[in-house]
């Protein structure tokens, strides 16, 4: 009888260990896929220059427009650190405004906003990362991307074209969402659809990739959209004049160029 108890215990222990290993393997695979998705979305080439047109439409159909030039540089390919610089040229009330971000991996990202009307450099606090980017339905965090390590990722489904991933925050107190689900293209790992769920399990925010073009050998998002399902606002973004690996010097991403645009890259 005692021998039987020992065999049962060992069997249960073995199943428990197996379950943990399977869970760990699935979590690692989910994180691996999300890392590929982030790379496809934010890391193509050693740097990137693009012209951006943004259309913000509210529930009544009223439209506001933004125009800007975005510069991005991969600082360290191994660590994933990056720098971003966005210079606004339209409309008049925000012309010459600059958004700059340092994407850190081990620490919180650094973000600044230069307000030319006040000649003021404003630091964007970590608590504001998930707030509106210049009145659009994209958040500041959306511009440079969310750190994969901040969430736990698991595979929900897979077919011939897509992998569906569920991502839940490790620290729910720092974000407004309960989890988000990403539908990722298996061919190029570009996220085609991302839906954010609130604490009541309802979708309140939806991202869509609307157009992809191959530019300089990279599958590149040239049109995407974010919708706020609570207030029915939608922001559509178009990317043109995209150029990769331009050799943008790191000095461009400094306070000096917050007040004076780098003319070699921003017209």
Using one digit for the tens of pLDDT, what is the confidence trace for 137-153?
A: 999 999 999 999 999 99
Sole residue written with tokens 């897979």: 158
Q: Six-digit token pair at 249?
A: 């010097």
Using one digit for the tens of pLDDT, what is the confidence trace for 186-208?
A: 999 999 999 999 999 999 999 99
CATH class of 3-258: mainly beta
- Residue 154 banded pLDDT, cuts 50, 70, 90: very high
Contact 165, 182 (CB under 8 A): yes
- Look at residue 10 in the predicted model and tell me its pLDDT: 44
Contact 180, 167 (CB under 8 A): yes
Query: Per-domain residue ranges for the chain?
Result: 3-258
- pLDDT greater than 50 at residue 209: yes
Sole residue written with tokens 């750190």: 147
Q: What is the pTM of this model?
A: 0.88
CA dist., res. 122 & res. 136, Å (int) = 18
- Look at residue 24 in the predicted model and tell me its pLDDT: 44
- pLDDT greater than 80 at residue 27: no
For 156-176, what is the mean pLDDT? 96
CA dist., res. 34 & res. 182, Å (int) = 9
Using one digit for the tens of pLDDT, what is the confidence trace for 107-122?
A: 889 999 999 999 999 9
Using one digit for the tens of pLDDT, what is the confidence trace for 29-86?
A: 999 999 999 999 999 999 999 999 999 999 999 999 999 999 999 998 778 899 999 9
Q: What are phi and psi of 51, to 5 degrees?
A: -100, 135
Strands 151-158 and 120-124, bridge-based pairing: unpaired
Strand ranges in the chain using DSSP code E only, listed in sequence order:
47-57, 63-76, 81-90, 98-103, 110-115, 120-124, 151-158, 162-169, 179-185, 191-197, 203-215, 218-228, 233-244
| Among 105, 98, 67, residue whose Cα is nearest residue 84 | 98
For 79-95, what is the mean pLDDT? 95
């Amino acid at each position: 009888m005692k021998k039987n108890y020992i065999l049962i215990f060992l069997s249960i222990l073995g199943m428990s260990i197996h379950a943990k290993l399977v869970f760990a393997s699935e979590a690692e695979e989910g994180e691996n896929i999300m890392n590929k998705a982030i790379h496809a979305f934010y890391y193509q080439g050693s740097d990137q220059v693009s012209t951006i047109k943004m259309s913000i439409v509210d529930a009544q159909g009223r439209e506001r427009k933004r125009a800007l030039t975005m510069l991005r540089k991969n600082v360290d390919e191994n660590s994933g650190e990056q720098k971003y610089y966005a210079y606004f040229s339209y409309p008049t009330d925000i012309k010459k405004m600059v958004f700059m971000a340092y994407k850190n991996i081990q620490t919180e990202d650094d973000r600044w906003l230069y307000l030319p009307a006040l000649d003021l450099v404003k630091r964007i606090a970590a608590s504001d990362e998930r707030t509106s980017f210049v009145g659009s339905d994209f958040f500041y965090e959306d511009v440079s991307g969310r750190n994969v390590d901040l969430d736990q990722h698991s595979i929900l489904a897979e077919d011939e074209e897509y992998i569906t991933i569920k991502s839940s925050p490790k620290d729910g107190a720092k974000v407004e969402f309960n989890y988000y689900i990403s539908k990722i293209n298996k061919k190029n790992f570009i996220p085609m659809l991302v839906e954010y769920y609130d604490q009541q399990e309802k979708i309140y925010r939806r991202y869509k990739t609307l157009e992809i073009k191959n530019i300089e050998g990279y599958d590149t998002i040239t049109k995407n959209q974010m919708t706020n399902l609570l207030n029915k606002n939608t922001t559509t973004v178009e990317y043109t004049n995209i150029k990769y690996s331009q050799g943008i010097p790191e000095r461009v991403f400094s306070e000096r160029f917050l007040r004076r645009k780098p003319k070699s890259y921003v017209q």
